[in-house]
Amino acid sequence: MWSGAGVRQILAYSEPVDMRKAFDGLLGLVKGVLAEDPLSGSLFVFVNRRQTYLKALYWDRTGFCLFAKRLERGRCRFPHEGLKQELSAQVFQLLLDGIELGRRRSGGYNTRMTLEERATALSRAEIVALREENVALKRQNEWFKRQLLGRKSERRLLPADPQQLSLAGRLAPPVEPRETPPPPTETVKAYQRRLRGEAGADAPDERELRFEPTVPVEEIRVPTPEVAGLTEVEYEILGEKVTYRLAQRPGAYVILKYVRPVIKRKDLATLACPPAPPAVLERSLADVSLLAGLLVDKFRYHLPRYRQHQRLADAGIHLSRATLTQWVQRTAALLEPIYYALLSSILQSQVLTMDETPIKAGRQSKGKLHTGYFWPLYGDQEEIAFPYAASRAQSAVREALGKFCGVLLTDGYAVYERYAQTVKGLVPAQCWAHCRRQFVDAAAVEPTLVAQALDFIGQL
Q: Could you write out the DSSP letters of every residue in 201-239?
A: TTS---SS--B-TTS-EEEEEPP-GGGTT--GGGEEEEE
pTM: 0.51
Closest CA to 396 of 368, 370, 377: 377
In a domain, 311, yes or no: no
**Residue after which a domain boundary falls, among 60, 77, 103:** 103
- Considering the domain boundaries, does residue 294 fall inside one? no
pLDDT at 55 over 80: yes
Instruction: Select from 182, 25, 4, 9 the least CA-distant residue to 96.
Output: 4
Does 157 map to a domain?
no
What is the tally of structural domains in the chain? 3
- Per-residue pLDDT tens for 275-303? 999 999 998 999 999 999 999 999 999 99
The answer to the question of residue 236 being in a domain is yes
Mean pLDDT over residues 77-89, rounded?
Answer: 79
pLDDT in tens, 84-97: 888 888 788 888 88
Q: Rounded to an integer, what distance in angstroms lies between the CA atom of residue 77 and that of residue 26?
A: 19
204 occurs within a structural domain: no
Domain-ending residue, one of 285, 310, 326: 285
Same domain? For 244 and 350 the reply is no
Are 269 and 341 within one domain?
no
Mean pLDDT of 424-444: 87
E strand or H helix at 455: helix 447-458
Check whether residue 343 and residue 460 sit in a common domain.
Answer: yes
In a domain, 379, yes or no: yes
Q: What is the pLDDT of residue 39?
A: 87
| Residue 133 domain-assigned (yes or no) | no
Asked if residues 154 and 437 have their Cβ atoms less than 8 Å apart, the reply is yes
Q: Which residues contact 51 (CB under 8 A, 6 or more apart)?
A: 75, 76, 77
Whether the pLDDT of residue 68 is over 50: the answer is yes
| H helices present in 122-266, as ranges | 124-149
Q: What is the residue range of 249's domain?
A: 217-285
Residues 341 and 457 in one domain: yes
pLDDT confidence of residue 201? 54
Rounded Cα distance between 167 and 304, Å, is 42
Could you tell me if 344 and 442 lie in one domain?
yes
Tell me the percentage of the chain whose pLDDT exceeds 70: 83
Asked if 345 and 277 sit in the same domain, the reply is no
Closest CA to 12 of 22, 26, 24: 26
Q: What is the pLDDT of residues 327-386, one digit of tens each?
A: 999 999 999 999 999 999 999 999 999 999 999 988 888 888 999 999 999 999 999 999
Query: Has residue 165 got a pLDDT over 90?
Result: no
Q: What is the model's pLDDT at position 359? A: 92
Q: Are residues 342 and 459 in the same domain?
A: yes
**Residues 276, 379: Cα–Cα separation, whole Å:** 42
Q: How far apart are CA 47 and CA 32, in angstroms?
A: 17
| pLDDT tens-digit series, residues 200-222 | 555 666 678 889 999 999 999 99
- Amino acid, single-letter form, for residue 408: L
CB within 8 Å of 288: residues ≥ 6 apart: 279, 280
pLDDT confidence tier of residue 166, bands split at 50, 70 and 90: low
β 388-389/368-374 pair status: antiparallel
Q: With contact defined as beta carbons under 8 Å apart, do 450 and 442 qualify? A: yes
Last residue of a domain, one of 86, 103, 120: 103
- Same domain for 279 and 347: no
Residues 343 and 260 in one domain: no
C-alpha 141/C-alpha 145 separation (Å) is 6
Average pLDDT, the chain: 84
Domain membership flag for residue 44: yes
**3-state SS record for 10-45:** EEEECCCCCCCCCHHHHHHHHHHCCCCCHHHCCEEE
Query: Tell me, what's the pLDDT at 103?
Result: 47
